Structure 1
Amino acid sequence: MAYVTISIGGRAYRMACDDGQEEHLAGLGEEVDARIDQMRAAFGEIGDQRLSIMAAITIADELSEARRRIRALEQEVGTERAARSAAVQKLGETESQLAGTVVAAAERLEKLARELGPSPSGGVGMG
């Protein structure tokens, strides 16, 4: 277990984190501290606890909005995947129908060629 000391609102806090997460935790602390500084600049000295709660609610609101957007994007991706799957299936069906049509046309041409017999030049001709 690792420990990091972060500074928020001019106070130092010693925090535990998983090994290798020290930089990440320090960055999060810096972000919270910056939020509190922004709110202090906007609202003045209204108390550390109130500023901390306002910062936490602001961050929670942003997180909530990000989660909502992620859910909407996941639904959109699911819809797109379903549409793609349907299109691929339709393409396969169309290719199969086209192949059947080409085979049937080739068989009719061969039948017509046999019915017409050999051309005077010794092969099957077109004219």
Structure 2
Amino acid sequence: MAEIMLQIAGRPYPIRCRDGEEAHITHLATMIEQKARQAQQSTPGMTEVRTLLFAALFLADELNDLRREAAGRQTQLALEADDEPSARAIEALAARIEKLRERLAVSASDA
């Protein structure tokens, strides 16, 4: 097990993690630290717990937005996948229209 020291909201936190995960955990801590600074700037004088609460709420809000966006993309992909039968039907209609146009052209030249 590796041990790293994280600095969040001006306070050090020793954390143990699996070997090789140090960089990832440090990256996550940096994200939390950024949100904690954002909370401290918007409401100076908050307690440490409240700062971390707001940092968590900011991160949860971003996660929620990303999940909604991903769900919208999945819905869009599902709709696009459902369009394949429609596309085939339109191609078949276009082929029929082309045959009718050819017949009309032949009939018009015979007249």
State how many pairs are aligned: 97
Structure 1 residue 5 displacement after superposition: 2.0
Runs of 4+ in 1 over 4 A off after TM superposition: none
Residues of 2 paired with 1:63 and 1:51: CA distance?
18
1:119 alignment counterpart: none
Specify which structure has the bigger relative contact order, considering alpha-carbon pairs within 8 angstroms and separated by 6 or more residues.
2
CA contact (8 A) 2:9 2:51 kept: no
After TM superposition, the structure 1 = structure 2 runs for residues 27-106 of structure 1, keeping only pairs within 5 Å, are: 27-83=27-83, 85-87=84-86, 89-90=88-89, 94=92
Q: Secondary structure at the match of 2:14?
A: strand
| Residue of structure 2 in register with 1:10 after alignment | 10
Query: Residue deviations 1:80-114, cap 9 Å, x none?
Result: 1111x2145337x739x77xx7xxx9xxxxxxxxx
**Cα distance, 1:2 vs structure 2:** 3.4
Once the two structures are superposed, residues 7-56 of structure 1 have per-residue CA deviations (whole angstroms, 9 ceiling, x without a partner) of 10122222233443221210110111111112212211111101110110
Cα RMSD of the aligned pairs, angstroms, is: 2.4
Over the matched positions of the two proteins, sequence identity in percent amounts to 25
Q: Between Structure 1 and Structure 2, whose CA radius of gyration is higher? A: 1
CA distance in 1, matches of 2:41, 2:59: 17
5+ residue gaps in structure 1? 106-127
Separation in structure 2 between the aligned mates of residue 72 and residue 27 of structure 1, nearest angstrom? 28
Mean CA deviation greater in 13-22 or 23-32: 13-22
- The TM-score normalised by the length of structure 2 is 0.72
Higher helix proportion: 2
Amino acid at match of 1:11: R
Alignment partners' CA distance in 1, 2:4 and 2:78: 41
Consecutive unaligned residues in structure 2, runs of 5 or more: 104-111
Amino acid at match of 1:79: L
Question: Please, what TM-score do these two structures have when normalized by structure 1?
Answer: 0.64
